[in-house]
Structure 1
Amino acid sequence: MTTIRQHAEEYLAMRRRLGFKLTTFGEKLMSFVSYLEHTGVTVLTTEAALAWATDTPHSTDQVHWSRRLMVVRIFARHLKTLEPATEVPPDDALPHHYRRITPHLFTPAELSALLEATGLLQPAFRARTWHTLIGLLAVTGLRTSEACGLDRTDVDLADGLLTVRDTKFGKSRQVPVHASTTAALRAYARERDRRRPVPSTVAFLISTRGTRLDAHNLPHTFPLLLDTAGITAGEGRRRPRLHDLRHTFATTTLLNWYADGADVQARLPLLTTYLGHADPKSTYWYLSGSPELLALAAARLEHSLGGRP
């Protein structure tokens, strides 16, 4: 008899073969399976799913609970075709409330302060790597995992082109960069190769140990840079994250388009492709993610209507 754990492992393997990464999804699903094993439950039931979803001692956030339950619900629909006794948690059990946290949009002064703060990191090459990383994220909008995942062959310094492979949605794309960005990347590469003439990794950005820069370790250093730069969260806001550099890039791009009088709606698909969004809705969200952008969009609409309410 196949156990729920075996079914879960086979399900995750199948979806990963289709190109899904399922990092967080997989962790949550296997946590649920371990919960079933610990409690001695051998059939997936709605009662067990709800108990696990709300078993979060450090959080009473209903949005968090609903997202945990959604993982079980998705798996349960698959499992029911194999194990008819499986119960699929109904949609109205911990209904999903969509909530997107308002990002921190870095000002030009904050970005300058952040880049300057990297200079205090030790040793000197660590400072150089962080300066390059933050600059790259700020001017390209790459995800941190994408920047860390760049190989040397992915960075075309002759044509100013980055190739981002196997992204969040299993796709690859090319990202053109400005000549000034290419010059900064070339300078970093020279310093890197001087320090590591015999590379131990094909990665473009490396740690002081000569290994690929680990995206999972970056959040440990970034708060130190924020403190040094004097960048704090606004009232009622969470602390800025590295990922907010991506939000800042997208919002700034849209603001510049409005300032130039461009047809923003026509250009949005270009930004969608550049950012590697799977769904244009993710790009459209930026129109409401900034009060300034929202005001500009409203003004453009009012003008197109001839001032009519």
Structure 2
Amino acid sequence: MGLLPQRSVRASPYLYSDAEISCLISATATLRTPLRRATFATLIGLLAVSGIRVGEAISLDRGDVDLAGGRLTIRFGKFAKTRELALHPSTVQALRSYRRIRDRSAPSTGMLAFFVSTAGTRLIYCNVHNTFQRLIRHVGLMPRSASCRPRIHDLRHTFAVRAMLDAYAAGEDGQTRITLLSTWLGHVHPRDTYWYLSAAPELMALAGQRLEAHLATGSGHR
């Protein structure tokens, strides 16, 4: 008893639907101030459409968000890796709208952060997590299992799975997309990206179909 170390159980990703993400963003209207509402609506939207980590988002400085060029510079990624991400025009517009609200409503503190609290300071992860869980409860999202509970980090998992589903739907090579996705997400090893995708039955089914088709084609040329 107690002689063997326990293996930690990794949480299963909660993959959000479009409707669930929309509901979470709409639920930010229940937050106290216009700035807080705008901050969390924009933050959740950015996480959903970019797949960046929460820590990367709250570490963004104003100069890292190039709205003219439509790019994000992630300077504080995991393992101190810096990368640049291209933004969709609709995302640029949402960030521009938030910047106007932030500049008009946030106290002038000289803070370089792009996303700020009602005090004009950089967001703190634990506060972001707690607010997101409050929104989860307001929307009424429930755990799918003991190890699959809706977390803010799962917006990143959802982005990764959708990127691969889109690639398969477009007939793209899955391995090529995996490599690009791994770089986009800031993963050091593609195996980390594979784990993100392993929790999506629909994606695994598509991958299996691709493999079967490849093997059938290969056998026909023998």
Both proteins in one fold, TM over 0.5: yes
- Paired with 2:46 and 2:179, the residues of 1 have a C-alpha distance of 22
Match of 2:53 in 1: 143
Task: Indicate if the aligned counterparts of 1:162 and 1:174 stay in contact, CA closer than 8 A.
Answer: yes
Match of 1:271 in 2: 181
SS in 1 for 2:204: helix
Counterpart of 1:63, as a letter, is: R
Match of 2:113 in 1: 203
RMSD over aligned CA atoms reads: 1.9
Unaligned runs of 5+ in 1: 1-49, 55-60, 65-98
1:284 to 194, 208, 219: 194
Q: Which moved more, 1:208-217 or 1:295-304?
A: 208-217
Match of 1:173 in 2: 83
1:164 to 74, 81, 93: 74
Task: Indicate if the aligned counterparts of 1:233 and 1:239 stay in contact, CA closer than 8 A.
Answer: yes
Give yes or no for the alignment of 1:218 onto 2:128: yes
Q: Which has the higher contact order (CA 8 A, sep 6+)?
A: 2
- Paired with 2:147 and 2:77, the residues of 1 have a C-alpha distance of 29
SS in 2 for 1:62: coil
Match of 2:100 in 1: 190
Q: Number of residue pairs matched?
A: 217
Give yes or no for the alignment of 1:231 onto 2:169: no
Report the alpha carbon displacement of residue 291 of structure 1 after superposing the two structures with TM.
Answer: 0.6
- Paired with 2:10 and 2:199, the residues of 1 have a C-alpha distance of 9
Are residues 211 and 287 of structure 1, via their aligned partners in 2, closer, same or farther at CA, if it must alter by over 3 Å?
closer
Task: Indicate if the aligned counterparts of 2:13 and 2:149 stay in contact, CA closer than 8 A.
Answer: no
Match of 1:62 in 2: 6
Unaligned runs of 5+ in 2: none
Match of 1:255 in 2: 165
- Paired with 1:219 and 1:238, the residues of 2 have a C-alpha distance of 16
- Paired with 1:301 and 1:196, the residues of 2 have a C-alpha distance of 53
Report the alpha carbon displacement of residue 216 of structure 1 after superposing the two structures with TM.
Answer: 2.6
Task: Indicate if the aligned counterparts of 1:103 and 1:244 stay in contact, CA closer than 8 A.
Answer: yes
Counterpart of 1:289, as a letter, is: A
Counterpart of 1:115, as a letter, is: I
Report the alpha carbon displacement of residue 306 of structure 1 after superposing the two structures with TM.
Answer: 1.2
Task: Indicate if the aligned counterparts of 1:287 and 1:297 stay in contact, CA closer than 8 A.
Answer: no
- Paired with 1:195 and 1:100, the residues of 2 have a C-alpha distance of 40
Give TM-score, length-normalised by structure 2. Answer: 0.92
Match of 1:127 in 2: 37
Same amino acid, percent of matched pairs: 49
- Paired with 1:247 and 1:238, the residues of 2 have a C-alpha distance of 12
Match of 1:12 in 2: none
Task: Indicate if the aligned counterparts of 2:70 and 2:86 stay in contact, CA closer than 8 A.
Answer: yes
String of CA shifts for 1:249-293, please: whole Å, max 9, x gaps.
000111111111111111211111110001111112234221111
Task: Indicate if the aligned counterparts of 1:113 and 1:229 stay in contact, CA closer than 8 A.
Answer: yes
Counterpart of 1:260, as a letter, is: A
Give TM-score, length-normalised by structure 1. Answer: 0.67
SS in 2 for 1:163: strand
Moved over 3 A (4+): 196-199, 235-238
- Paired with 1:237 and 1:221, the residues of 2 have a C-alpha distance of 21
Give yes or no for the alignment of 1:152 onto 2:62: yes
Task: Indicate if the aligned counterparts of 2:164 and 2:177 stay in contact, CA closer than 8 A.
Answer: no
- Paired with 1:258 and 1:198, the residues of 2 have a C-alpha distance of 47
Match of 1:14 in 2: none
Task: Indicate if the aligned counterparts of 2:35 and 2:106 stay in contact, CA closer than 8 A.
Answer: no
String of CA shifts for 1:169-201, please: whole Å, max 9, x gaps.
111100111000000000000111112373430
